[in-house]
A and B are shown apart, each in its own frame.
Chain A
Amino acid sequence: MFEYWNPRIERMPVDDLHELQGKRLRSLVHYVHNHSSFYRQRFREAGVEPDDIKKLSDVTKLPFTLKIDLRNTYPTGMFCLPENWVVRYHVSSGTTGKPTVVGYTQGDIDMWTESLARALTSVGLGREDVIQVSYGYGLFTGGLGLHYGAERIGATVLPTGAGNTERQIELMHDLGTTAIACTPSYFLHMNEVAQKMGVSIRDDTKLKAGIFGAEPWSDETRKRIEESTGIKAYDIYGTSEMSGPLFTECHLQNGIHIWADLFLLEVIDPKTGEQVEDGERGELVVTTLDKWAFPLIRYRIGDITILNSEPCECGRTHPRIMRILGRTDDMIVVRGINVFPSQVESVLMRIPEIGEHYQIIVDRKGPLDVMAVKVEMTESTFSDKIADLMSLSNTVARLLKGVLNITAEVELVEPGTIPRSMGKAQHVIDRRKV
Chain B
Amino acid sequence: MAAIKQISIFAENKPGRMAGVAKALGDAGVNIRALTIAEAGDFGVIRMVVDDTERGYTALRENGFMVSETDVLAVEIKDVPGGLYEIVNSLGMNNINVEYAYAFVTAKAERAMLILRVDDVKRAAEVLSEAGVRVATREEIQQI
Contact = CB atoms under 8 A, between A and B. Distances in A.
A384 B70 contact: yes
B66 interface: yes
Contacts of B10: 377, 382, 389, 412, 414
Interface size classification for chain B = 10 to 19
Contact of A386 (B11, B40, B70): B40
A386 B36 CA distance: 13
Contacts of B70: 384
Interface string B77-100: 000000000000000000000010
Interface string A371-383: 0000001010011
A386 B44 CA distance: 8
B12 interface: yes
Interface in A379-396: 379, 382-386, 389-390
Kindly name the residue among B12, B64, B65, B99 whose own CB sees the greatest number of chain A CB atoms within 10 A: B12
A293 to B, nearest CB: 49
Contact of B42 (A383, A385, A412): A412
Interface in A400-429: 411-417
Contacts of A382: 8, 10, 66-68
Nearest to B38: A386
Interface string A346-388: 0000000000000000000000000000000101001111100
B12 A384 contact: no
Interface size classification for chain A = 10 to 19
Interface in B40-93: 40, 42-43, 45, 47, 64-68, 70
Contacts of A377: 10, 66
A414 B65 contact: yes
Interface in B7-22: 8, 10-12
A411 B42 contact: yes
B11 to A, nearest CB: 7
B96 to A, nearest CB: 17
Given A377-B10, A414-B11, A414-B12, A384 B64 contact: no
Contacts of A414: 10-12, 64-66
B8 A384 contact: yes
Contacts of B45: 384-386, 389
Nearest to A372: B42
Interface string B96-130: 00010000000000000000000000000000000
A390 B67 CA distance: 17
Contacts of B65: 414
Nearest to A410: B42
A413 B66 CA distance: 10
Given A382-B10, A414-B12, A417-B12, A389 B43 contact: yes
B66 to A, nearest CB: 5
Given A384-B8, A384-B47, A385-B99, A379 B66 contact: yes
Contact of A390 (B12, B40, B99): B40
A415 B67 CA distance: 11
Given A385-B99, A386-B45, A416 B64 contact: yes
Contacts of A389: 10, 40, 43, 45
Nearest to A378: B66
Interface in A253-279: none
A414 B65 CA distance: 7
A376 to B, nearest CB: 9
Nearest to B43: A412
Kindly name the residue among A384, A385, A390, A414 whose own CB sees the greatest number of chain B CB atoms within 10 A: A384
Nearest to B9: A384
24 contacts: A377-B66, A379-B68, A382-B10, A382-B66, A382-B67, A382-B68, A383-B68, A384-B6, A384-B45, A384-B47, A384-B70, A385-B99, A386-B38, A386-B40, A389-B10, A389-B40, A389-B43, A389-B45, A411-B42, A414-B11, A414-B64, A414-B66, A415-B64, A415-B66
8 tightest A-B contacts by CB? A384-B8, A411-B42, A386-B38, A386-B40, A382-B68, A384-B70, A412-B43, A382-B66
Given A382-B68, A415-B64, 5 more contacts: A379-B67, A389-B10, A412-B43, A414-B65, A416-B64
